[in-house]
Amino acid sequence: MVTAAPGEERSPALALVNTRRLNAGEEVDDLAEPRDATEWLRRHELPAATIGADDLSRLTDLRAAVRELLAAVTEDRAPDARALETVNAAARADAAAPQLTWPAGPRREWHSTRPGSADEAMAALARDTIDVVTGDLGGLVRPCEAHGCVRFFFREHARRRWCSTTCGDRVRAARHQRLVVEQRETSQGRS
């Protein structure tokens, strides 16, 4: 299991985008099979009865659309119109209503009209996407700067540039390697 990128615990939409990643140049998809997706949704408190093959392709389409929206936010540009429509369609698929509960203080919960359905889970992911890109978190979205990494994270600390210590270590090791080679070349040039 790969470590979650900073912010994934605050945003299932960010976590969704990061289910497609690279590991040593190889593409890894945490949602490759319907049962992987069912399990992933359950872990992110988005219980969907069972994800079928059709639901899975809708979920991976939604993932691609959310990625495009996060990229647009970080690049300060308008997103692809299809990505916008995909997220809006997912948000509309469940006519959920906000409900006020008061466990230990006021809390907003969304009550689905289709509880337990794949639409409920996808609408929740779409709503979170809309909250992220329109809210304060939008300004924190960053792509990992490590070469060969495609994950996004929330930059909660000003100096953070990588999605994980693994990526940070990899960048530092590559930089060190480059320095060693340069020093070797300089000293060879002198002799």
Among 17, 90, 91, 149, interactor with Zn ion by CB under 5 A: 149
In the set 16, 126, 132, 167, which binds Zn ion (CB under 5 A)?
Answer: 167
Q: Whole-angstrom Cα distance, residue 142 to residue 119?
A: 28
Locus of tokens 């909660």: 156
- Which single residue is written with the structure tokens 């647009």? 72
Q: Which of 59, 126, 49 is nearest to 95 (CA)?
A: 126
In terms of CB distance, is 58 or 151 closer to Zn ion?
151
> Per CB under 5 A, does 146 bind Zn ion?
yes
The answer to whether 133 contacts Zn ion (rule: CB under 5 A) is no
What residues form DSSP beta bridges with 127?
none
Q: Which is nearer to Zn ion, 9 or 109 (CB)?
A: 9
Closest to Zn ion by CB, 111 vs 172, is: 172
Site size with Zn ion, rule: CB under 5 A: 6
**14 touches Zn ion (CB under 5 A):** no
What are the strands, taking DSSP E only, across the chain? 20-23, 26-29, 97-101, 107-111, 141-143, 152-154
Applying CB under 5 A, which residues contact Zn ion?
A: 144, 146, 149, 151, 163, 167
